[in-house]
Structure 1
Amino acid sequence: MSRADRPRVVVVGAGFAGFEAARTLCRSVRDQAEVVLLNPTDYFLYLPLLPQVAAGILEPRRVTVSLTGALPRVRVVLGEADHVDLARRLVRYTGPEGETGELTYDRLVLAVGSVNKLLPIPGVTENAHGFRGLPEALYLRDHVTRQIELAAADDSAVREARTTFVVVGAGYTGTEVAAQGKLYTDALVRRQPGGKRLPAPRWLLVDIAPRILPELDRRLSDTAHRVLRGRGVDVRTGTSVTEATPKGVQLDDGEFVGTRTLVWCVGVRPDPLVSEVGLPVEHGRLKVDPRLNVPGHPEVFACGDAAAVPDLTRPGQCTPMTAQHASRQGRVAGHNVAASLGHGETRAYAHHDLGFLVDLGGVKAAANPLGVPLSGPLAGAVTRGYHLAAMPGNRVRVAADWILDAVLPRQGVQLGLVRSYTVPLDTASPELARVPGGPRKE
């Protein structure tokens, strides 16, 4: 088969699902099909370790894996998908310098992932920042460092607000950001010449749910709560934010908390592109069958956060939006696309959860691998071992950073490379920092 006659498979998105779909495809079809991966960045981001970037444990490139390096037989196209034309079988996109382009396809895999979930709370969009992409993590690291440095040089009443940090949302991300952030700011204060005069950094973790990590087993939740409390994190469950201002946040219990830092981790929603495709959706996710195929369109597949995948282990429900499901769905999607091209047989997606892991910083973690509840250093070792095994690259570099962090103090410096206005909360592309005059997609 000549290159011109090969069918083309376009994978949109290089998150957990898209990356695994592309990798499985190129292994299955070899040179019998052209695999094109459309993504705004040239890397796969290992999202679970992003809190460690914000806390100064890992350098940013440690949690990124080069797409061209990891997927040598895949053609990577840089761009953000703007429109899917099902009738003409093409995807329109905008490139990193504002240029537009089109990709035709014989098979399409939609794996565009998710973005920050927004709530109609006054002032949140203007004063909060999310935590879904590398630019947001870099911004938070600089911002937190700057607040401690400014507080050390400031004797006014604003000092306490600068050393107060509010995280809204006590799921995986919010819990890990608060846990890692408290350790980081405590270390920064100790190294400040005027550190003894500074108020102890105060971290608030706020969630309307009755407990933190409400989606996990109660024992994991209790373990995480105990670690955070012991570390000095103020956990406010059954509490919500009613307003955010430049000077602080108003809680629904009547308390106003002065702060210059509001981290929004209330959850995610599917990428807006999904609802614009013109196919049936369920809670913003494309409806697919157990084989990840879109009904009525045998050439279109969807997986990860973009797809409402029937959960065969829990009839009547859809699989949750987790990295564990996304990775495995990506592999099944890649396998089934290859099967639709004559390479193998299709199979349905069915996956029992293997357990959950929450890194709480230092040697602490909460984990239940294969349903066995663990805590303390053992859970920490299991958690880090899992992350090393799950990462598609950079394992040695990540392990080296962990070793160095254990024996050397963290570098508490702000580089100022990511400014507040470049990482707005209300964006459909948290993986990209926005610059004045540059291409913009909302």
Structure 2
Amino acid sequence: MPVKVLVVGGGFAGAQVAIDLAKCQHVDVTLVTRTDYFEASFANARSVVDPSIADQALWLYEAMKPHGTFIQGEVTQLSDSTAVLADGTQVAFDYAAIATGSSYAVGKSSTALTLQQRLQELQGLAARVKAARSVLVVGGGPLGVELAGEVLTDLPGVEVTLVHGGQRLLPSLTPKASAAAEAWLRSKGCKLLLGDKLQVPPGSSGGPFSGTTSAGVAVAADVLLMATGITTNSGLLAQTLPDALDPQGRVKVDATLRVVGHPRLFALGDVTDVPEEKLAFLASQQGQLVAASIAALAAAHVAGGQAATDAAGKRLGRWRPSKGIAVMIVTLGRAYAVGRIGCLTLRGWLPTAIKARNLEGFVSKYRRQLMAQP
């Protein structure tokens, strides 16, 4: 009898787990996700000025490589062996992979359940940005800097203001990379309000805004782009398995990406407490690791029962945060980028050639990796 595996969430991590496990002879995998589409969300900053990239960065799950049974729905309850969907359907499983990701205003939609709805959202935002005379970006992390860079590059006549609570942009990069990004933004006329904060009512992103920062600076813009307030999508566990969460609401995992205290559950991607930047390529590789681990447990169970499964559980692959060295590239439009490899600062032609001028290539890579016919 096949081992039943439930995958909750179909982003880079969850989709990879489902696709890899669907190849396994002794596994029956079910993928549950709330939308009917996959989204390469790292392209969303570019889509604010060039919505055509969304046509390549979003696709239906039905166009993906075989990934088991697909259910568009929402898991509302989860135990160590059963999930309950919003419509009351119960899904029993032997193992589950929790890959529910995270949410933030521009990068991911909280309302679009279909591909067409999401494309309309992105196209509408791009139209508002193109028609704007001024844009306000709140947040100076990677998303905020990329949004400002895209607008300044493609729409040079638009006045851009960026508000950031920290004293330097891109705190996850090296100080030299942060300084290079700041210098580039200022050279393009971006008004930077560093060490300042702005209270924004929920749901304001994408529309006009006027207000006053905590330092008393009046700001107003035709379009507000929120790049703060990233929320881990762990509410599923908050009620049913609260012991699985840390104080920040992240799922606690061990080195094998098993949920601490729940050996039949794995968690991966943005939802975990793994100390690393939450990046697409890391989530995808975590998906490969978790799929291999569950496949090994399933094969052991079929071959030798519980004793063999317990033995296999002691030999599972282990995840090294950031694969042992932190790597990140942040684009500022199509012609400049900064980044890091460990303590090494990247700026200028190299990161620009890798990502800023080749963002479509990154999208194509994941289309080939995940789609049946890219």
Quick one: which of 241, 257, 262 aligns to 1:297? 262
Match of 1:268 in 2: 230
* SS, match of residue 286 in structure 1: coil
Residue pairs, 1:27-426, within 5 angstroms: 27=23, 30-56=24-50, 58-86=52-80, 89-94=81-86, 99-116=87-104, 129-133=105-109, 139=121, 141-143=123-125, 145-146=127-128, 149=131, 163-186=133-156, 200-242=157-199, 247-271=209-233, 272-280=235-243, 281-282=245-246, 283-309=248-274, 318-342=275-299, 345-350=315-320, 351-353=323-325, 355-369=327-341, 372-383=344-355, 384-385=357-358, 388=361, 391-393=365-367
Q: Does the 8 Å CA contact 1:270/1:285 hold for their aligned counterparts?
A: yes
Tell me the alpha carbon deviations over residues 380-424 of structure 1, each in whole angstroms, 9 at most, x when there is no partner. 2111558735732169xxxxxxxxxxxxxxxxxxxxxxxxxxxxx
- Residue 103 of structure 1 aligns to a residue whose secondary structure is strand
Q: 1:255 & 1:355 partners in 2: Cα distance?
A: 35
CA 1:394–1:185: 2 relative to 1, 3 Å: farther
Question: For 1:261-310, what per-residue CA distance to the aligned partner results, in whole angstroms no more than 9, with x for missing partners?
Answer: 2221114121122323324211201212111112332211111122223x
- Equivalent of residue 14 in structure 2, options 14, 18, 26: 18
**Which amino acid letter does the alignment assign opposite residue 239 of structure 1?**
D
Q: Distance in 2 between matches of 1:389 and 1:17?
A: 16
Q: Is the 8 A contact 1:212 1:225 kept in 2?
A: yes
The runs of 4+ residues in structure 1 deviating greater than 6 Å are 134-137
1:147 Cα deviation (Å)?
Answer: 6.4
- In structure 1, what is the Cα distance between the partners aligned to 2:220 and 2:160? 12
SS of the equivalent of 1:363 reads coil
The answer to which of 58-67 and 250-259 deviates more is 58-67
Structure 2 distance, partners of 1:335, 1:231, is 47
Deviation at 1:372, TM superposition (A): 4.8
| Gap runs ≥5 in structure 1 | 117-128, 150-161, 187-199, 310-317, 396-442
Instruction: Output the TM-score relative to the length of structure 1.
Output: 0.69
How many residue pairs match? The answer is: 338
Give % identity: 24
What amino acid is aligned across from residue 261 of structure 1 in structure 2?
V
Change (3 A) 1:210 1:142: same
Q: Which runs of 5+ in 2 are unaligned?
A: 301-311, 370-374
Write the deviation string for residues 179-217 of structure 1: whole angstroms up to 9, x where unpaired. 11233333xxxxxxxxxxxxx421111111111111111
Assess if the C-alpha contact under 8 Å between 2:43 and 2:54 holds in 1: no
Q: 2:8 is matched by which residue type in structure 1?
A: V
State whether residues 5 and 96 of structure 2, in contact with CA within 8 Å, keep that contact through their aligned partners in structure 1.
yes
> Residues 355 and 369 of structure 1 are in contact (CA less than 8 Å); yes or no, is this contact kept in structure 2?
yes
Shift in CA distance, 110/73, structure 1 to aligned 2, threshold 3 Å: closer
Summarize the Cα distance change of 1:277–1:114 in structure 2 as closer, same or farther, 3 Å threshold.
farther
